[in-house]
Structure 1
Amino acid sequence: MTTGSWPVVPQPNPLIANRYRKGRSLGAGGFGEVFYAEDIKFNPPRPVAIKIVHTDLLVDPQVRDGISKEANVLAQFKHPNILRVLDFEVGQAGAFIVTELAEGGSLAQKLKPDPNQPPKPLPRKEVLFILERIALALDEAHSHNIVHRDIKPANILLDINGQPQLADFGFALTVTKSIALQTLTSVYGTPQYVAPEVWNDQAGKSSDIYALGVMLYEMITGYTPFLGNFDELKDKHLNGAIPTLKERYPRLRYPQALDAVIFRALAKKATQRYKKAIDLFQAFKAALEEPDPPVRAAVTQKVRASSAKTPAQPANPLQTQNIGPKQRQPARGTQIKLLLEKINDFEAAKSWAKVIEAGEQILALDKNHKIAIDKLGRAYFNNGLDQYRKKKWLEASKSFKEALNYDDSQAQTYKLLGICLFNLNDPGLTLYNLTRAIEKDPSDSESYYYRGKYLYNAWLKRHVKKELNEAIADFNAALQLAPGNFTLKAEIYFWLGRCYYNRNNAADLNKARNFFDLAISLAPNVATYYSWRGLTGSDVSALVDYSRAIEIEPNNHTFYVQRGNRFSAMGEFDRAIEDYTRVISLYDHSDSYLARGQAYQNSNKHALAINDFNRAIILDARDWRSFFSRGMSNFELGFYKLAINDFNQAGQLESNLPVNYFKVIGLSHLMNKDFKNALFNLEKACQLNPRDGELFYWRGKIQKELKNKDLARQDFDKAISLGYREATKEKRYLGWF
């Protein structure tokens, strides 16, 4: 990601930032225009969306700085329902933001697929699904103190699988502060969704809850609660009564309790709204469980009259397919009784799918049948349990979710659903379900254990210290609740060790080793425990641990890599090469050849090293490290032109390059008598590491070749001041002493 000027290239369909090939327009708004684009850094090119910001917004330096800061924060998000920022560039001449491509269109398009036709309200299940996912995404952002300020269907994008993703996150708050945006249509975001306090420029997290409530209203009815021009909308948001759902959409048949949910979400005072978006979702879900209002008598009579004229068609598997004039359907009570008898037989045979089928048939006859509801909840749970034991996480999670629709009081269901989602890498819902499990049963050690694992993994992605501390607290709670379960206890000790290891200080490193010792004492045949303990020990003890891990799992390449790395750090490259050779036999991957090639390189066996780097490049031509390492060996062999080619290739693949890259490519140009490029790269190296005397020494050598004696002398003086005594000889040779 870069921040600077963005030059305009006068040629047809130019690459943006030498990387993005712009395609068709996907839409435009007050902030900019979005285009389909292809990222040619990847082969084949990766489809992305690129938003080109309106240039008139960029006059204000605060806007440019704000967009850069917001984009940097949002690029770190990896929430499944927040559209991820992949790249951006901001300058006064132009700016763009690159995000993942959501190929399923927007929620706005889903609500109104035909601009010339009335909008289409969404089915209940779809509303429930979208609201839950966006609520989780919004709460995730709010936990990082980021306010969206422009929640609306147009900013809810759908991926190819229909998963909703919250887009344009955070930019609205930045750009609306600019004088350039003080217009009627954009100063407060989108007027139909703006909370009362926002009209007074007091936006906060609760303003997003208000906008989410408006969007919920729109998903249910097809319309926002308030309609009109700008001034009318402002007055209604500030002072107007909220129309009930029925008033906006008379044909609607939703539980009346839903009005109260909407009224609270759209309360005029921010303090009276739901505190979190997920609270709005939970209230909506609970309201849906209320009975629908009865159909009016006149409508009922009309339906009866209509059905009297038309012979009824069988709607139930218990009905016969060919009903003669003398045949009668069993009464509803009889049908239910027969179905219950079948359910009892299916339960005895543990045929949960058949229990579910029969239970659904009963609810089609009597949607409030308590026995059927209870049996359906247990059948879905047991079906999920069967899939869970087979580690079919997706199938199990679907069954557990259905079980919660019938009975949301069971901590075990939330726990097992959370574990499934953890294994499916669904971060938002994992945390929610495990937390619900703990709330319902605070004595279950497994819930704390898995929530601790989730928090640890979240820390790995974001490096938020709070999450690591919360993980430790959960593992400690799990430890207190699992005194007799030695397998679980060993796992908890192991994860506590990992947490303390990653705190990265000497005291916590000792704690980590102690926890790994405890884990091994309870489970001495778990190879991973030895592998992690090896990270905390001396060379000798580490080699013992890695060897023990290999003894337990001789075909796990990871342990050979760890032992090989330790041998390399000790300078025992021949033994490292033996381990890396074993790795290659188990794991034919570019990383394996790269590791062995670097060991050959450190042994001055550059021809063998180049062979391994060639193989690594064949397996993965996008890894800059292989080109860089091959360039280093070519440099050592005196093949400077080949080295320069390799270094240039590495530079095209990676923008965040180490100081040593600029040093060696500069020296390669120096040896090739290309002093201009040599000076350019050494200057870059000196800027990146101004405390390395050797870099200034080499830059001085280049200045000497260019006959810039004063500049050369300054560099040699700097090198000497930094302790690089070799520069003294150069000064003597020039007769400066």
Structure 2
Amino acid sequence: MFINRRQRKPKVTYVILVSSLLLILLLNGCASLNEHLAMKDAASFYKQAKWEDAAKKFEEALRINPYRPENWKHLGFCYWNMIEPGSTAQKDMDATRKALEAFQKYLQIVKKDDSIQDYIINLYINQNLLEEGVKYYEEVLKDNPQDTRVLFTLSQMYGKMGNFDKSLEYSLKKADLTPNDPAGYIYIAALCWQRSYNRQDTPEVREQIVNKGLPQIDRAIQLDPKNSTAYVYKGLLYRQLAETSKLRAEDEKDRRKKKELLDLSEQYLTKANEVRDIAIKLRKEEKEKSEAKATE
């Protein structure tokens, strides 16, 4: 009997394919089992607060399956717990970067988790990795330029780096996106007051900065007329104008202009005191309300 070898080839190929698939399934099953065993050990170490051992086991599981977000998150917490807050020792900086990497990979999978974003922000700020933090969040912002949380974070980071202009830029963008939130406008006023109070600029520049803050605080008061904090900052801004007017008067040679500047300084001081009194009254009302509520 004549056997056509070409007709038998598909059967051989089919057998090889089935065998290969079975081998893949078997290997996948082994990988899955090993991943879960590593996760079980990691969980046990985690509960015992044995952070280094837990981290090793989470990393082992992630080498097998890098797409399980919870493992990235818990790996981040392991390294978080190894960090001495504020320490710049090499071991703490290494743990910080590993925690950041783990948390960021977790977010790449789940996309959004505000609580983990808080941990990332905390790490960048507390460990003084501000330049790295700015770089990271500038990239995040490209994907969602209207993310108010990221805008506020960038404003904070630039502020801590001493970059007033960039801090103000991002805080204004954030306020524009949340026009009904007085807190955003109060934050801008606080930025302007702080910059002027630090006396890094000439009196003229300080006045320009303060005059950027005053309209913002007026918006906050318009939105929330009972907000005592808004009045506190309005008073502080007026005191800065009183100070800068007086400084300008000291350098003024023209006696008439000098008197005008000194009079202006007094006017600003009067306004500051009036606003201070409103703030004190509102604080007293807030305290009375709080005490009354506590006795109910």
TM-score (norm 2): 0.52
Structure 2 counterpart of 1:495, from 66, 74, 77: 77
Is residue 557–residue 583 contact of structure 1 (8 Å, CA) maintained in 2? yes
Q: Deviations over 1:103-124 (max 9, x none)?
A: xxxxxxxxxxxxxxxxxxxxxx
Structure 2 counterpart of 1:554, from 137, 145, 162: 145
- Distance in 2 separating the partners of 1:621 and 1:500: 46
Instruction: Tell me: CA distance 1:553–1:475, structure 2 relative to 1, closer, same or farther (3 Å).
Output: farther
Q: Which amino acid aligns with 1:557?
A: T
Q: Deviations over 1:440-481 (max 9, x none)?
A: xx9976x969xx8xxxxxxxxxxxxxxxxx795589758736
1:598 alignment counterpart: 190
Q: Percent identity?
A: 13
Q: Which amino acid aligns with 1:571?
A: G
Structure 2 counterpart of 1:643, from 255, 265, 272: 272
Instruction: Tell me: CA distance 1:643–1:497, structure 2 relative to 1, closer, same or farther (3 Å).
Output: farther
Structure 2 counterpart of 1:513, from 93, 97, 104: 97
Instruction: Kindly report the root-mean-square deviation, in angstroms, between the aligned alpha carbons of the 2 structures.
Output: 3.9
Aligned-pair distance for 1:579? 0.5
Is residue 55–residue 75 contact of structure 2 (8 Å, CA) maintained in 1? no
- Distance in 2 separating the partners of 1:633 and 1:598: 9
TM-score (norm 1): 0.23
Aligned-pair distance for 1:572? 2.3
3-state SS of 1:550 partner: helix
1:544 alignment counterpart: 135
Aligned-pair distance for 1:609? 0.9
- Distance in 1 separating the partners of 2:152 and 2:219: 18
Instruction: Tell me: CA distance 1:629–1:480, structure 2 relative to 1, closer, same or farther (3 Å).
Output: same
- Distance in 2 separating the partners of 1:644 and 1:570: 33
Aligned-pair distance for 1:541? 1.8
Instruction: Tell me: CA distance 1:519–1:538, structure 2 relative to 1, closer, same or farther (3 Å).
Output: closer
3-state SS of 2:236 partner: helix
Q: Deviations over 1:567-623 (max 9, x none)?
A: 223332222221112101322312211122233332632223111112223334454
Instruction: Tell me: CA distance 1:625–1:473, structure 2 relative to 1, closer, same or farther (3 Å).
Output: farther
1:617 alignment counterpart: 221
3-state SS of 2:183 partner: helix
1:426 alignment counterpart: none
3-state SS of 1:637 partner: helix
3-state SS of 1:515 partner: helix
Q: Higher strand fraction: Structure 1 or Structure 2?
A: 1
Structure 2 counterpart of 1:567, from 158, 161, 164: 158
Q: Deviations over 1:347-396 (max 9, x none)?
A: xxxxxxxxxxxxxxxxxxxxxxxxxxxxxxxxxxxxxxxxxxxxxxxxxx
Aligned-pair distance for 1:513? 2.9
1:149 alignment counterpart: none
- Distance in 1 separating the partners of 2:220 and 2:77: 34
- Distance in 1 separating the partners of 2:212 and 2:70: 47
Aligned-pair distance for 1:557? 0.9
- Distance in 1 separating the partners of 2:224 and 2:56: 43
Q: Deviations over 1:627-660 (max 9, x none)?
A: 22111111122212221233334445559xxxxx
- Distance in 2 separating the partners of 1:478 and 1:578: 40
Is residue 564–residue 576 contact of structure 1 (8 Å, CA) maintained in 2? yes
Q: Which amino acid aligns with 1:487?
A: P
3-state SS of 1:516 partner: helix
Structure 1 counterpart of 2:124, from 534, 545, 550: 534
How many aligned residue pairs are there?
194
Instruction: Tell me: CA distance 1:509–1:548, structure 2 relative to 1, closer, same or farther (3 Å).
Output: farther
3-state SS of 2:222 partner: helix
Is residue 86–residue 128 contact of structure 2 (8 Å, CA) maintained in 1? no
Q: Deviations over 1:386-409 (max 9, x none)?
A: xxxxxxxxxxxxxxxxxxxxxxxx
Is residue 531–residue 549 contact of structure 1 (8 Å, CA) maintained in 2? no
Q: Which amino acid aligns with 1:607?
A: N
- Distance in 2 separating the partners of 1:540 and 1:576: 13
Unaligned 5+ segments in structure 1 are: 1-441, 453-469, 656-737
Instruction: Tell me: CA distance 1:600–1:608, structure 2 relative to 1, closer, same or farther (3 Å).
Output: same
Q: Deviations over 1:61-116 (max 9, x none)?
A: xxxxxxxxxxxxxxxxxxxxxxxxxxxxxxxxxxxxxxxxxxxxxxxxxxxxxxxx
Is residue 448–residue 474 contact of structure 1 (8 Å, CA) maintained in 2? no
Q: Which amino acid aligns with 2:240?
A: E
Aligned-pair distance for 1:552? 3.7
3-state SS of 1:554 partner: coil
- Distance in 1 separating the partners of 2:52 and 2:108: 20
Structure 2 counterpart of 1:630, from 234, 238, 246: 234
Bigger relative CO (Cα 8 Å, ≥ 6 apart): 2
3-state SS of 2:186 partner: helix
User: Which structure has the larger Rg?
Assistant: 1
Q: Deviations over 1:202-259 (max 9, x none)?
A: xxxxxxxxxxxxxxxxxxxxxxxxxxxxxxxxxxxxxxxxxxxxxxxxxxxxxxxxxx
